[in-house]
Amino acid sequence: MKESRDPDLVMPTRSIGSLDLPVVISEPVAPPDVAQAWRARVHLAKVGLFFASLFLFILAITLMKEGARGLAPLVRDGLNVSNVANGLGFGWLSAHIIMSGSPVAATALTFFDAGVLDELSAFGMITGSRLGASFVVLLIGFLYVLRGRDRSTSLSMGLLSLTVTGTTYFPSLFLGAAILRTGLLDGVRLSSDAAIHSIIDRAVAPAVNLAVHLLPGWAIFGVGLGTILLSFSLFDRCLPQMTLNKREKGLMSRLIYRPWAMFTLGALITLISMSVSLSLSILVPLSSRGFVRRENVIPYILGANITTFLDTLLAAVLLDNQGAFTIVLVQMLSISIISIGLLAAVYRRYERGTLDFVAWVTAENRNVAMFMAIIFLAPIILMLIK
């Protein structure tokens, strides 16, 4: 086999006797300089998407801040979100509806900033947003079941995500509420640069002023919510496509049996993607293809549930509200204490109990239906507690 050189096309040939016959291939092989130019354009496009998503995120937070006061009668009087249980149910149900947790967490901070929610209600709403976000992984599992994949394998990732999130966030809710009541972290201050805020305000001011002039408060908030969903969608598209070569697969196969390594991996991937729904959704196809097993991903989920607050912390900084920053800081601290404590002290027993519960749920359709009923009814019941 040898190749004939052409300035526009690389065409492989096969020698038969004294003849060099071309070999038909499905696609021409692009010259290296063309391939490099294409990759450079793709990288530039992703950089552009990143800055566009960042601008839209800043614009969305500003719009939601302006429009939050217009929703005060609905949230405070209509829905009567007045305590931590109501906030938990409200955030949980809202994340179910829009199929994402991060916008709901940002909404909780804008409501707190506008005085619509108190500190504990906003804290509960952020916790609920994380419970609702885990439902996305379960939904993806259902889609795999509809495509003919094994029910137990496809649903196990979503069930694990919900179970691990529930068994860590509920204890962290009580721990975090206690920390907030004591004011232990109130002295931790975040110094924001006035010049940076001035630049940000000037960048989004024209669009915000136009919205304020044309729309009522509740509509401004709705536009902001739609904008933040768009910003997360664009950010997902600018993330690089990750593929593993043979050597990297061998490394991964060794790492997945080390709980602390998987914990770190889950934290890092979520830190980069700023979306726990995205980082956990990766587990569904990997599990369906047999690349990872259920017991391997529990530490991954524990790590992902900590660093998922990066975008919420950024929203608190953009609001320039010290109380909002404290709420997110307490949220991160409390879930870190619970998750690291489980991993360090009772991980094997926690792993067995979690896997046994997931196996029970997937054993029969009746159990699956009962579990689904609980996760939909629970937030409604929480919102009714007075």
Residue 90 inside a domain? The answer is yes
**Lowest mean pLDDT, pick from 133-147, 168-182, 319-333, 337-351:** 133-147
Residue 211 inside a domain? The answer is no
What band does 73 get if pLDDT is binned at 50, 70 and 90? confident
Residue 251 inside a domain? The answer is yes
Residue 14 inside a domain? The answer is no
Query: Looking at the predicted structure, is the pLDDT value of residue 341 above 70?
Result: yes
Task: Give the model's pLDDT for residue 141.
Answer: 65
Residue 299 inside a domain? The answer is yes
Query: Looking at the predicted structure, is the pLDDT value of residue 285 above 60?
Result: no
What band does 69 get if pLDDT is binned at 50, 70 and 90? confident
What band does 290 get if pLDDT is binned at 50, 70 and 90? low
- Which domain range does residue 170 map to? 84-191+244-384
Task: Give the model's pLDDT for residue 200.
Answer: 67
Query: Looking at the predicted structure, is the pLDDT value of residue 28 above 80?
Result: no
Residue of higher predicted confidence among 238 and 196: 238
Residue of higher predicted confidence among 154 and 366: 366
Residue 362 inside a domain? The answer is yes
Task: Give the model's pLDDT for residue 124.
Answer: 96
Residue of higher predicted confidence among 133 and 307: 307
SS3 sequence, the chain? Answer: CEEECCCCCEEEEEEECCEEEECCCCCCECCHHHHHHHHHHHHHHHHHHHHHHHHHHHHHHHHHHHHHHHHHHHHHHHCCCCCHHHHHHHHHHHHHHHCCCHHHHHHHHHHHHCCCCCHHHHHHHHHHHHHHHCHHHHHHHHHHHHCCCCHHHHHHHHHHHHHHHHHHHHHHHHHHHHHHHHCCCCCCCCCCCHHHHHHHHHHHHHHHHHHHHHCCHHHHHHHHHHHHHHHHHHHHHHCCCCCCCHHHHHHHHHHCCCHHHHHHHHHHHHHHHCCHHHHHHCHHHHHHCCCCCHHHHHHHHHHHHHHCCHHHHHHHHHHCCHHHHHHHHHHHHHHHHHHHHHHHHCHHHHHHHHHHHHHHHHHCHHHHHHHHHHHHHHHHHHHHCC
What would the pLDDT profile of 133-154 be if each residue is shown by its tens digit? 877 767 766 666 556 565 666 6
Task: Give the model's pLDDT for residue 365.
Answer: 79
Task: Give the model's pLDDT for residue 198.
Answer: 65
The sheet that has 2-4: what strands, in order across it? 2-4, 11-16, 19-22
Task: Give the model's pLDDT for residue 154.
Answer: 61
Residue 153 inside a domain? The answer is yes
Task: Give the model's pLDDT for residue 62.
Answer: 85
Report how many domains make up the chain.
Answer: 1
Query: Looking at the predicted structure, is the pLDDT value of residue 49 above 90?
Result: no
- The whole-number average pLDDT for the span 252-269 is 77
What would the pLDDT profile of 88-104 be if each residue is shown by its tens digit? 999 999 988 887 788 89
- The whole-number average pLDDT for the span 295-300 is 83
Residue of higher predicted confidence among 175 and 40: 175
Task: Give the model's pLDDT for residue 85.
Answer: 94
Residue 8 inside a domain? The answer is no
The overall pTM is greater than 0.95:
no
What band does 70 get if pLDDT is binned at 50, 70 and 90? confident
